[in-house]
Amino acid sequence: MEQEIDTNELGESIVRVLKGIYDPEIPVDIYELGLIYDVMVNTDYEVKILMTLTSPNCPVAESLPREVEEKVKGIENIKDVDVEITFDPPWSKDLMSEEAKLELGML
C-alpha cells in the first residue's frame, strides 16, 4: 500500500526551506518578501513554485530560481521541482509580510 502524502506537512517543509533563502539586495527571506506566489504539490511528490522577482532586471534573475529549485529538491521525498517566474502581478512592497516590513523599518 502506498504511503499517503501529507501535503500540509510537506508544504510546511517547503515554506521552511523558502524562508532560508534571502534576496541578496534586501535582508529578508524570499517568502516574507512576497516573492512566492504559490506552491503546489501533487501526490507524486512533484512541486511547482510560482514566484516573481523584485524587478524583471533583478541581478539574480537566473540564480535565485535555480537556488529555490535546488533547495526544495533537497527535501526528503521530493521527486521534482518546477520553478516558474511570473511578473503578473508585478511585485510590490504591498506583497511583503508584516514581519518583512518591520525588519526593514517600514512599520
pTM for the predicted model, two decimal places: 0.89
What is the set of domains in the chain, with CATH numbers? 7-101 (3.30.300.130)
User: 3-state class of 75 per DSSP?
Assistant: coil
Tell me the per-residue pLDDT of 51-99, one tens digit each, with 9 for 90 and over.
999 888 888 888 999 999 999 999 999 999 999 999 999 999 999 999 9
Tell me the per-residue pLDDT of 29-56, one tens digit each, with 9 for 90 and over.
999 999 999 999 988 899 999 999 988 8
Which residues, at least 6 apart from 83, have a Cβ–Cβ distance to it below 8 Å? 48, 49, 51, 65, 66, 68, 69
Residue 1 has pLDDT above 60, yes or no: no
Q: What is the pLDDT of residue 47?
A: 96
Grid coordinates standing for 98?
A: 508584516
Looking up cell 521552511 gives: 16
Residues in the chain: 107
Closest CA to 35 of 102, 100, 107: 100
